[in-house]
Amino acid sequence: MSEHGTESAGEGVSQPGTTARLDQGDIEGSGGILERFTNPGLPPHVPRSADLDEKAAHRAERQVAALFGISMVATVIFLVAYFAIDQKTYESIPGIGQASLSNVVLGVSLGVSLLCIGLGAVHWARTLMPDTEVAEDRHPQRSSDQARRDAVETATSGRAASQIGRRPMIKFTLGGALGLFALPLVLQLAGSLGPLPEAGLSTTFWRKGMRLVRDPEMTPIKASDVTLGSVFHVIPEGIDTSAHVLEEKAKAAVILIGIDAALIQVPKERAWGYGSMVAYSKICTHVGCPVGLYEHRTHHLLCPCHQSTFDVTQNCAVIFGPAHRPLPQLPITVDAQGYLVAESGFHEPVGPSFWERG
C-alpha cells in the first residue's frame, strides 16, 4: 500500500480482466507481468461453538478454571515439598532414574504450576475472548502541506534570527568544537579494545634449553621414561611463574609421544625428535582445541572437537577433518642430566590461523 492512503484492495490489477493465478506465471503474448495480484482478503469468519452455544461456553469456562486450579494445587505442592522433603533423599523415579526427590518434586510442581497458568490463559483466549479478524489500515505518513511549510518557515527564520549566516567566526568554531568532540568518544572505544597482541599469537613460552615437564606435576622427564606407545602431556618448565599462566599454557601445551623411530616417514620429524620420541603442539590448528586422543596402534592423534585426525608417522599431517595445517613440532633433545629439553621454541605459530598469519 502506498503512502497516499488506502486504495481499494481488490482492484490492483493492471490489465483489466486478466487476473492470473499464481501457478500460471507470465501471461503469454501480453508482453508484461502483472503489476499486482488480487488481495484475497480475509477468509469468512466462522463462529466457534462457544460463541453459539451457552453450554459450550460454560464448559470452556470450567476448563480454564480447572487449569488455573491445577496451577494452584501445584504451587501448594511446591510450598509443602520445599519444607517436607529432605534434599538428601534419593529415590528411583520412573523415566528419570536415581535422583534427588526434592529436586524432581520442586521442579515438576513449579513447572506444572507455571505451565497451567499459560495453558489456561491460552485456552481462555482461544475459546471465549473475541476472535473476529481485524485489519488496521496504515495511516498516511506524509504531513499536511501546511505543516510542512510551517516547519520550513520555522527553520529558516530560526537560522536568520541566530545570525549564523552573517557571523562566520561562530559558524566555523562551532563546527570545529562539535567535530573535535567526536574524537574522545572514538578514542575511548578504540582504547578500551586493549593492547595489540603484537607477537603474542606467534610465540609461545618455549625457549631453547627449557625442560619438558609433566602437566600438572611440573616434574622433568628423563628420556628413558618414555617407553614405546606411551604418552606424556607436557608443559615448559617455569610456566607456572609466568604472569599469565593460563594464557601461556593454552599456547604451550605439548604432547610427547613414544613411537618406533622406524615408523616415522618424514626425515625432519625424526631429526626434530629424540630417539623414539617426538613432541607436537597439542593445540589443534583448526580452532585450538587440545588434541589429546592418541591411538597408539594407528599412531593417529584425534581432536575431540571436530574429529580432525593427524598422523604422527607423517609429521602430524591432517588425514581427516577440518584442520588444514599439520600440528607444529617442537624440536627436542636431552640435557647433561638426561632430561628432555626443547632444542628451540616452535618454528611456526601454534594453533588456529589468525589475520596476520594468513
Alpha carbon distance 144, 103 (integer Å): 64
Q: Does 50 bind other proteins (CB under 8 A)?
A: yes
278 lines the binding site for other proteins (CB under 8 A): no
Sole binder of other proteins in the list 297, 336, 355, 358 (CB under 8 A): 297
Return the C-alpha cell found at 27: 501471461
**Applying CB under 8 A, does 195 fall inside the site for other proteins?**
no
Q: Does 122 help bind other proteins (rule: CB under 8 A)?
A: yes
Instruction: Check binding of 304 to other proteins (CB under 8 A).
Output: yes
C-alpha cell at 112: 506444572
- Residue 33 has what DSSP assignment? -
Taking the C-alpha atoms of residue 105 and residue 122, their distance in angstroms, rounded to an integer, is 25
Nearer to other proteins, 85 or 201 (CB): 85
Tell me which stretch binds other proteins (CB under 8 A): 174-182, 195-203, 300-308, 322-330: 300-308
Q: Residue 48 interacts with other proteins (CB under 8 A)?
A: yes
The residues, ordered by sequence, that sit 6+ positions from 314 with a Cβ below 8 Å of its Cβ are: 265, 266, 269
100 is an interface residue for other proteins by CB under 8 A: yes
What are the cell numbers at 289?
A: 582445541
Among 2, 8, 98, 241, binds other proteins (CB under 8 A): 98
Question: Which is closer to other proteins, CB of 18 or CB of 298?
Answer: 298
Closest CA to 339 of 226, 231, 238: 226
**Per CB under 8 A, does 95 bind other proteins?**
yes
Asked if residue 131 binds other proteins (CB under 8 A), the reply is: yes
d(CA 267, CA 275): 13
272 binds other proteins (CB under 8 A): no
Whichever of 220 and 345 has its CB closer to other proteins, that residue is 220
Nearer to other proteins, 40 or 97 (CB): 97
Tell which residue, 336, 316, 215, 227, has the closest CA to residue 272: 316
Among 307, 324, 347, 348, binds other proteins (CB under 8 A): 307
Whose CA is closest to 266, among 188, 326, 346?
326
Position of cell 572437537? Answer: 305
Residue 255 φ then ψ, to 5°: -110, 125
Q: Report d(CA 333, CA 277) in Å as an integer.
A: 9
- Count other C-beta atoms under 10 Å from residue 177's C-beta: 9
Distance CA 333, CA 274 (A): 6
Does residue 55 interact with other proteins by CB under 8 A? no
**Residue 186, Ramachandran bin (φ over 0: left; ψ between -120 and 50: alpha; else beta):** alpha
Stretch that binds other proteins, among 16-24, 47-55, 162-170, 179-187 (CB under 8 A): 47-55
CA–CA dist 28, 114 (Å, integer):
59
Single out the segment in contact with other proteins by CB under 8 A; choices: 14-22, 178-186, 293-301, 342-350: 293-301
In the complex with other proteins, which residue's Cβ is closer, 222 or 347?
A: 222
Which of 71, 109, 113, 127 binds other proteins (CB under 8 A)? It is: 127
- Residues 212-241: x where in contact with other proteins by CB under 8 A, - otherwise, as a string: --xxx----xx--xxxxxxxxx--------
CB of 354 to other proteins, least distance (A): 24
Exposure class string for 290-308: b at 16+ Cβ within 10 A, else e? bbeebeeeebbbbbebeeb
C-beta closer to other proteins: residue 215 or 237: 215
314 binds other proteins (CB under 8 A): no
CB within 8 Å of 41: residues ≥ 6 apart: 9, 10
Least distance (Å) from other proteins to the CB of residue 222? 7
- Cis bond before residue 216 (omega within 30° of 0): yes
> Residue 93 or residue 317: which is nearer to other proteins going by CB?
93
Contact residues toward other proteins (CB under 8 A) are 46, 48-50, 90, 93, 95-100, 103-104, 122, 126-127, 131, 214-216, 221-222, 225-233, 257-258, 290, 292-298, 300, 302, 304, 307, 309, 320
